[in-house]
Structure 1
């Protein structure tokens, strides 16, 4: 397993798809877990599942990137010791999409291996990140995307894959597509961290002028165009559910009762 694995969790969104709710969407209770002191089941917040995935993969440090005002997240998780993690909290500065939130961590993740996921996406298997890291080690890819079969491509970045698993193209939330896999989690090495940092600097002026937000998938697609190697790992027997909408949140709650 690679040394110096760091987790990144973007938590700067406003949660508008679920609004109004009385807390940050990352803290919405979904399912139950044993209480750390007395063992009885107590509510488990949605982002804890992602933190546990990262901890199992060997991440010792995880950074949440927050929007100002979302102080309930550090208040809830604290330093992360109850999960066997060291948690850090960074504040989003540039409101041009998730990649710019992630780039707040640039000074903390240079030269390290990154595992990345969205805090409102539940997925299996439990060793998914470990499998991604193994795939990266075997292929020497700059990025490995964890891919799942999707029934509604309009909700996902779908991927066009070569027979050897190399990602040829990423298509952002197409209305219709014959492609059956969407990506939901990733790991990447220092080369992609450096590429993203420089690419975002180049794109910032255009995004400021247009008011458009950039997605992580668009940055990965730009990396493919520049010759970085992006591989995939498809979890055909796994599951993936974005609980950021009321409809899918109901599904998650029912499945985890």
Structure 2
């Protein structure tokens, strides 16, 4: 399985930093019996590996070589690759930069590198043979991509991209699909009338054309670390003695377009 990590955004909500926002130190890890700072994106990589990823592709901006220097060629049991998004142009553009790497028999998982979520194995609950989303409950779903489900509680009927009063507390935090769906979505996105920035609007078009997507309410807690308030919320969550169930935080401030790029 390939994990795709869109990491080309500028991180304007938490600037100024002297490094890429994906390397923001959050929490710590033990290395050679010493506690050392942990980059926020390490949490996503660990969750992707627990979900089955053997290969992970970072999509980075032209000025973000510090991510390559930090992670190098591998992380844990996964090999790493890097592709460049010339300018931040939305999540769809970033995700599909990895398209040349995805073979017909691959599975693809996507997550956001400035978020921390629990449980750590939530991605493993998703099937490999269909487009599916790990869903998390938050207090301010209008600041995210809220996911509406059918009465059966599993079929996605619509993704409400930062809509006021979306009618649900559940948002997507990561998603998975087989390569055939990945390439079908890519072809749809390439149509002249589309060029979506947000993955949610592309999925809505996919559903309107007869496609299927599924939601799994496996998430317990979700924090966006892309703001100062979110950073503090993540530190509180990670410092709790019993992990998780931590408090369910939502992003304190509205997210600009670059979050999904």
Q: For the superposition of Structure 1 and Structure 2, which TM-score range results when normalised by the shorter chain?
A: 0.7 to 0.9
Instruction: Give the match for residue 95 of structure 2.
Output: 102
What residue is the counterpart of 1:210 in the other structure?
A: none
Match of 1:156 among 144, 151, 176: 144
Cα deviation digits, residues 196-232 of structure 1 (max 9, x gap): 22122214x775xxxxx61111111111111111001
Contact 1:148 1:184 in 2 (8 A): yes
Rounded Cα–Cα distance in structure 2 between residues aligned with 1:163 and 1:122: 29
- In the alignment, the residues of structure 2 paired with residue 254 and residue 235 of structure 1 have an alpha-carbon distance, to the nearest angstrom, of 22
Q: Is contact 1:46-1:120 (8 Å) kept?
A: yes
Q: TM-score, normalised by structure 2?
A: 0.86
Following superposition, the deviation at residue 13 of structure 1 comes to 0.3
Structure 2 residues without counterparts, runs of 5 or longer: 240-261
| Corresponding residue for residue 163 of structure 2 | 174
Within the candidate set 72, 85, 97, 1:92 is matched to 85
Q: TM-score, normalised by structure 1?
A: 0.87
- C-alpha distance in structure 2 between counterparts of 1:96 and 1:15, whole Å: 13
* Unaligned runs of at least 5 residues, structure 1: 208-212
Aligned residue in 2 for 1:240: 222
- Asked whether 1:251 is paired with 2:233, we answer yes
Once the two structures are TM-superposed, the CA of residue 163 in structure 1 deviates from its matched residue by 2.7
Task: Name the CA distance, whole Å, in 2 between partners of 1:161 and 1:255.
Answer: 28
Aligned counterparts, 1:213-224, within 5 A: 214-224=197-207
Which one of 19, 29, 36 corresponds to residue 33 of structure 1? Answer: 29
Aligned length: 237
Cα deviations by residue, 1:5-55 (Å, 9 ceiling, x for unpaired): 1100000100011111111010000001001xx211110110001101111
Could you say what the CA RMSD is over the residues aligned between the two structures, in angstroms?
1.7
The answer (yes or no) to whether the contact 1:166–1:229 under 8 Å persists in 2 is: yes
Write 1 or 2 for the structure with the bigger share of helix: 1
Q: Which contiguous aligned blocks of 4+ residues in structure 1 show a shift greater than 6 angstroms?
A: none
Residue aligned with 1:202, SS: coil
